[in-house]
Structure 1
Amino acid sequence: MSAALPERASDLLDGMRRRRPRVHCLMNGVVPKLVADGLSALDAIPSMTSSPEEVGHFVARADALLVNLGTLDAQRREAIGIAVSVAAERGRPWALDPAHCDYSPPRAAFAQQLLTRGPAVLRANAAEYDLLSVPAGVVAVRTGKQDRIAQNGATFSVANGHPLAAMVTGTGCLSGALIAAFLAIETDAFMAASAAMLIFGVACEMAGKTASGPGSFEPALLDALAALSGDHILQHARIAHEQG
């Protein structure tokens, strides 16, 4: 199955550019521009409002939803509740990024509550992931030096990436948005998340070849996402698959 992931990721990348899915991002206040630009670089269509009065309308017109818990406040909590309800009503897939829930017990409790409401994918770093109990059926993406994507005993690990990504605020948030984008065009959430993390990792490696530091890495990453082709994925994928 691991041999098939690069080919499937290549096909999904082509599908992303053809279908141009709409992705609504309930995003923390620090990184919306990077996330919107990153989605646009892959030809997805981002929207970002967190207004409780508007968010339901935007989610109803979107093909997928990302819920990111960064810079969480009362208004964002309300908007998240509305967005998740509308996604459920309309059958829209959604991904959860419990950003910095390891800093805040109330945020961790909210993340755990949201995990009971049917996200397709959880994307979290190791510290966040270890606080949460992931329900059966939710694809669990644990990011780090190697990204690990797991569901029902099956696991992909993706070794692609670049150290400079960790020095640019919002790259993890962007990877969560890419997962949501691929959920919009791939019904198999395990494959959608695996392909998204592989594509993002390869783009990070491409950006790292030209960047001289974090300041130049961010625009290089956007350029890499825009230039990314299926051939890049097939040539540079570094993955492993476990079953059991």
Structure 2
Amino acid sequence: MHAPQGDSADVVNLADHAADLIERLRVRQPRVHCITNAVAQNLTANVLLAVGALPSMTIARSEVTAFATRADALLVNLGTFDPERRAAADAAIATIRSAARPWILDPVLIDRSPPRAAYAHTLLAHRPSAIRMNAAEFTELCGEASPQTFAREQRTVVAITGETDLVTDGDRTFRIANGHPLMARVTAMGCAESALVAATLAVQPDPLKAVASALLIFGIAGDIAGETANGPGTFGVHILDALFNLDRATILARAKVTS
């Protein structure tokens, strides 16, 4: 078992914030509208349900505004880059921003597709509350800027996930070492993690704490799932169970956090 590592009060307290958030999600049951990858929808919905959030997934232009109006937070994931999803994303972002509610951008595979990279750059003007991406996607979106510089300039929270996750708002930074290698062997794990970030943004007014807590919660659930899974197939089931059963004591005991 591990205790939070580091000297700052924020690092020491992040596990406490995460424990509070998992309890708050179950009580508040925020609505999260997800415009996401076609292969990610099932796992994403189940991850949200496992922590108590209420997912919706429609991309129909005739109704997406109505769903976004009722949502407490929005996920825009570029994993399936088709005209229908782009139109839905534009409408949903306009709606969620007019209500001053949070939204997260997940710029999936922009490092492999110039058109989706260009679209991701246009979305920055709509001020996402957070951006979750891997290192290659970060380089494509941000160029040579450091995560801290980019986060500060864009007034957003940057989360770069990998073996150790980095989360920063430009002034404060967390590094989270929880997680399991099997997470990379199950499709849509990152997409589902972004949806969890959207859920925490809906119930935590400090975006940095919301994003870092979500990644910590998801990483700890991955640790637990990996201890009993026989491979990718059972891992996908076990991580849902781990999220559903996660409690304060487990979060405090397992958190691996540094500044």
| TM-score, normalised by the number of residues in structure 1 | 0.97
Is 2:189 the counterpart of 1:180? Answer: no
Which of the numbers 215, 221, 232 marks the counterpart of 1:214?
232
How far apart in 2 are the matches of 1:236 and 1:112?
36
- RMSD between aligned residues: 0.8
1:19-38 equivalences in 2 (<5 Å): 19-38=28-47
- Which residue of 2 is the match for residue 144 of structure 1? 162
Asked which structure has the greater RCO (Cα within 8 Å, sep 6+), the reply is: 2
1:28 Cα offset (Å): 0.8
Q: Is the 8 A contact 2:124 2:154 kept in 1?
A: no
How far apart in 2 are the matches of 1:91 and 1:53?
22
Unpaired runs of 5+ in structure 2? Answer: 1-9, 143-149
Unpaired runs of 5+ in structure 1? Answer: none
Which of the numbers 158, 167, 189 marks the counterpart of 1:171?
189
Higher helix share: 2
1:92 Cα offset (Å): 1.3
1:86-126 per-residue CA deviation (whole Å, 9 max, x = no partner) reads 01111110000001111101101111111110110000011
1:136 Cα offset (Å): 2.8
How far apart in 1 are the matches of 2:79 and 2:172?
29
Amino acid of the structure 2 residue aligned with 1:35: T
Give secondary structure in 2 for the equivalent of 1:103: coil
Equivalenced residue count is 241
1:113-152 equivalences in 2 (<5 Å): 113-133=122-142, 134=150, 135-152=153-170
Amino acid of the structure 1 residue aligned with 2:181: P
Is 2:92 the counterpart of 1:83? Answer: yes
- Which residue of 2 is the match for residue 50 of structure 1? 59
How far apart in 2 are the matches of 1:119 and 1:111?
11
How far apart in 1 are the matches of 2:109 and 2:199?
22
Residue identity over aligned pairs, in percent, reads: 46
How far apart in 1 are the matches of 2:21 and 2:66?
27
How far apart in 2 are the matches of 1:152 and 1:127?
19
Is 2:161 the counterpart of 1:161? Answer: no
How far apart in 2 are the matches of 1:54 and 1:103?
31
Give secondary structure in 1 for the equivalent of 2:18: helix
Which of the numbers 3, 25, 28 marks the counterpart of 1:16?
25
- Which residue of 2 is the match for residue 92 of structure 1? 101
Amino acid of the structure 2 residue aligned with 1:68: N
Give secondary structure in 2 for the equivalent of 1:149: strand
Give secondary structure in 2 for the equivalent of 1:157: strand
- Which residue of 2 is the match for residue 72 of structure 1? 81
How far apart in 2 are the matches of 1:215 and 1:86?
37
Q: Is the 8 A contact 1:16 1:43 kept in 2?
A: yes
Give secondary structure in 2 for the equivalent of 1:196: helix
Q: Is the 8 A contact 1:151 1:190 kept in 2?
A: yes
- Which residue of 2 is the match for residue 235 of structure 1? 253
- Runs of 4+ aligned structure 1 residues displaced above 2 Å come to 133-136
How far apart in 2 are the matches of 1:152 and 1:164?
30
- Which residue of 1 is the match for residue 145 of structure 2? none
Give secondary structure in 2 for the equivalent of 1:119: coil
